[in-house]
Amino acid sequence: MDIGLAGQYVLNGLMLGIIYAMVAVGFTLFFGVLDIIKFSHGDVLTVGAFTALAAYAGVTALGLQSPWLILGVIALAAIAGTAVLGALIARFLIMPMRGAPPINVLLLTLMLGTALRESVRLFYPNGSNPKMFPRLLPGGAANFGRFTLRYDSVLIFVAGVAVIVGVSLLINRSKLGLAIRAVAQDAETARVMGIDLEAVVLFTFALGSALAALAGVMNGMYYSEINFNMGLLLGLIGFSAAIIGGLGNIYGAILGGFLFAALQTIGAVLLPVSSAYKDVFAFAAVIVLMAWRPTGLIAEKSSERV
């Protein structure tokens, strides 16, 4: 294979991997603190992306012209909106279900995801149609034979890595992170030790939802388009990535995100005539991996959760 073309595949895989990793980390955070799978997570991502697009329409109507300032405003709007949404979901839907069978929580979050997705489709203007996402990052690219290095892609990737590193430092190096890890290991003992369980859970759900919003915004900037059902596939991929890596382990979620992107890239290379089958190839490979290692690549230990 041409080296330039191979480099292009690698770059595309890295871009997808950082987005998938951010979604997968959210699933891991939710599972870590409450042992639940929140299947509405992908649809929260959709809400975040459309919140950013609505904020863009608002700031441009006000006459704001600086691309960097606009980007900061719409990113903050998406983060704030989905963080509040995530905290509300945890407070009024998830926490009351703590004593219920796990299947009830799965059903609840599935229905919630459908409600969020359909709300975007029905109430956002022309929500059924794909929406162009604004190009706010510097354009241009450096060409090296068949390899094209887009400047905006580099910035998106660097921002994604910075976010992942920041979350990792928060979880592992801060008092708040220590409280999250304590709740993940033994919620009742953490409560006895004086940790506010509800506050930790609300913050964790807000953090995971904010990560989903950033992933949605990054996905929109990368493809220059969003649609109301984008969270279906991204949510499924993020969940698969978390499972591959070992649900409950942040580093496993990150590894799973990049691994899934690598599988898609390999599928696109092996099936160049119809790269649309790359998702089929990736999910088939995940099935094989799960049959081989049902606990994921990084097996969960109670002391390592979250």
CB 239 within 8 A of CB 40: no
Say how far apart CA 212 and CA 208 lie, in whole Å. 6
Please report which confidence band the pLDDT of residue 262 belongs to, taking 50, 70 and 90 as the band edges: very high
Lowest-pLDDT choice from 102-116, 119-133, 142-156, 170-184: 142-156
pLDDT value of residue 40: 95
Query: Which residues, listed in sequence order, are joined to residue 147 by a DSSP beta bridge?
Result: 144
Burial class (CB in 10 A: 0-12, 13-18, 19+), 244: buried
Pairing state between β 141-144 and 225-226:
unpaired
Burial of 249 (0-12, 13-18, 19+ CB in 10 A): buried
Burial tier of 2 (Cβ tally within 10 Å: 0-12, 13-18, 19+): exposed
Residue 1 has pLDDT above 90, yes or no: no
**Structure pTM?**
0.93
The tokens describing 179, both together, are: 């409280």
Say how far apart CA 225 and CA 92 lie, in whole Å.
Answer: 32
Residue 304 has pLDDT above 70, yes or no: no
- Is the pLDDT reported for residue 150 higher than 50? yes
Task: Give the residue, 80 or 297, on which the prediction is more confident.
Answer: 80
The pLDDT of residue 299 is 61
H/E stretch holding 26 reads helix 3-34
The pLDDT assigned to 302 comes to 40
- Domains of the chain, CATH where assigned: 3-125+150-304 (1.10.3470)
pLDDT at position 141 is 84
**Closest by Cα among 5, 8, 23, 28 to 243:** 28
Torsion of CA 202, 239, 71, 152, to 10 degrees: 150
Is residue 272 over pLDDT 70?
no
Identify the pLDDT of residue 265.
87
Q: Tens digits of per-residue pLDDT, 5-60? A: 777 888 889 999 999 999 999 999 999 888 888 999 999 999 999 999 999 999 99
How many alpha carbons lie under 13 Å from residue 151 in its C-beta half-sphere? 8
* Ranges assigned E (strand) in the chain: 131-132, 141-144, 147-150, 225-226
Of the given ranges (5-9, 38-42, 219-223, 289-293), which has the lowest mean pLDDT?
5-9
CA–CA distance from 74 to each of 80, 115, 140, 218 (Å)? 10, 24, 22, 12
What pLDDT does residue 273 have? 61
Q: What is the rounded CA–CA span in Å between residue 12 and residue 261?
A: 8
Tokens encoding 10: 């690698």
> Is the pLDDT score of 61 beyond 70?
yes
* Residue 29 token pair: 């955070």
Closest CA to 70 of 58, 82, 86: 58
CA distance 303 to 306: 9
Tell me what percent of the chain is helix, strand and coil, each rounded to the nearest 5: 75, 5, 20
For the record, the structure tokens of 217 come out as 């915004």
State pLDDT tens for residues 274-284.
567 788 888 99
Q: What value, to the nearest 5°, has the Cα angle with vertex 159 and ends 237 and 43?
A: 35
Residue 114 has pLDDT above 90, yes or no: yes
Is pLDDT larger for residue 119 or for residue 149? 119
pLDDT band at 300 (very low <50, low <70, confident <90, very high): low
11 against 255, higher pLDDT: 255
Q: What percent of the chain has pLDDT over 70?
A: 95
